[in-house]
Amino acid sequence: MNKPLGITVSRHILDSQRLHPQATGELSGLLGELIVAAKTISAEVNMAGLADILGQSGRVNVQGEKVQKLDELANSTFKRRMARCGYLCVMASEEEDEIIPVAEGYEGKYTLAFDPLDGSSNIDVNVSIGTIFSIHRRRSGSGQGNVADLLQKGRNQVAAGYIIYGSSTMLVYTTGEGVHGFTLDPSVGEFYLSHPDIMMPTKSKYYSVNEGNHRYWSEGMRRYIEYVKEEDKATHRPYSARYIGSMVADLHRNLISGGIFLYPRDSKDPAKPAGKLRLLYEAAPFAFIVEQAGGRAITDDGHEILDIEPSDLHQRVPLVIGGRKDVEVAEAFLAGKR
Ligand code: AHM
Ligand code: MG
């Protein structure tokens, strides 16, 4: 008997679109373009170890340019493809201070905020890294978009997702109707549905935090981390620590296996008044994904990440994200109630 054919990500997107007869197909088109950009970056990431061997200066890529640093390359790959996709009016990237305009004549109705290669300090040591994206509908009428189109709260996201370049490349995304994961088959260059309707455990046995920052934490934060190290009444074991230092990899693991991830504020460091992670293209898209998977994302003082009105493209936000029950317990410690 023939094996059943896998569901490709494009099939999945089109099937979801069919459930909305009023849909124009623009969001599907936009996701399709993002996927092509992701596959291009995936191919580059897989070659990263060879870049040194082949010689940074000698190697020339398909566009005839010298090989760039991988995060810059990921940024320009994303930017160039998406600027002409015809579905966007403006973009923002972690790699660029200002908004990124789209090509003239290609303006569309959506905005895109992205982190082209999150966790890029891990590239040299072959640890999983990823691309994160967040899509909103524009606020302005037509033509080129502006910064206000991008400065929208996470709750208004139309879609969000990430690509993890790990032992295999995976795409995980949501359009507000569940979270779906696809694994790239590199032999055919297609993403196939491998993790339909991801739901994360409400309570877990893993915590992820950079404990090296312990001395800068609030009292509540310190007490919470002491608590997870105590013996759990049900499991007779403390939580286990899991921290890769690559948000996409840490949160991907937590999404699949359960866990809580924290990057709280770091009050003694004036350069990091609100933790490290950025609201628009790190915290908000993951908050949308995690909520859709049954979890929750808050700041370390109890505000829902998705309800924060952004004031700056690159603003940072203290983040507590994970299974609903785990976050609830952390919230009580952080509020001084436990
Ligand atoms: P980046 O966007 O410069 O790569 O920084 C974000 C990364 C996250 O992936 C990760 O969770 C965090 O920084 C780790 O920070 P730290 O090394 O302070 O623990
Ligand atoms: Mg980042």
* CA–CA distance, 327 with 87 (Å, rounded to integer): 36
Per the document, the length of the chain is: 338
Beta bridge partners of 296: 322
Alpha helix stretches (DSSP H) within 229-315: 247-257, 284-292
Q: How much distance in Å is there from the Cα of 263 to the middle of ligand 1?
A: 9
Report the pLDDT value the prediction gives residue 52, as an integer from 0 to 100: 58
Least confident of 54-63, 134-143, 219-228, 248-257: 54-63
Strands 179-185 and 190-195: antiparallel
Q: Tokens 């090509």 identify what position? A: 103
Q: What pTM, to 2 d.p., does this model score?
A: 0.93
pLDDT digits (tens, 9 = 90+) for 242-263: 999 999 999 999 999 999 999 9
pLDDT for residue 149 is more than 60: yes
Report the pLDDT value the prediction gives residue 68, as an integer from 0 to 100: 56
Farthest CA pair distance, the chain: 64
Alpha helix stretches (DSSP H) within 111-172: 147-150
Q: Domains, the chain, ranges and CATH?
A: 9-195 (3.30.540.10), 206-334 (3.40.190.80)
Nearest ligand to residue 282 Cα = 2
- Number of Cβ within 10 Å of residue 177's Cβ equals 11
Report the pLDDT value the prediction gives residue 305, as an integer from 0 to 100: 98
pLDDT digits (tens, 9 = 90+) for 166-225: 999 999 999 999 999 999 999 999 999 999 999 999 999 999 999 999 999 999 999 999
State the average pLDDT over residues 12-24: 90
Say yes or no: CB of residue 276 within 6 Å of ligand 1: yes
Report the pLDDT value the prediction gives residue 273, as an integer from 0 to 100: 66
Say yes or no: CB of residue 94 within 6 Å of ligand 1: yes
Q: How much distance in Å is there from the Cα of 68 to the middle of ligand 1?
A: 21
Q: What is the dihedral of CA 277, 33, 188, 199, to 10 degrees?
A: 50
Nearest ligand to residue 251 Cα = 1
pLDDT digits (tens, 9 = 90+) for 89-136: 999 999 999 999 999 999 999 999 999 999 877 887 888 999 999 999
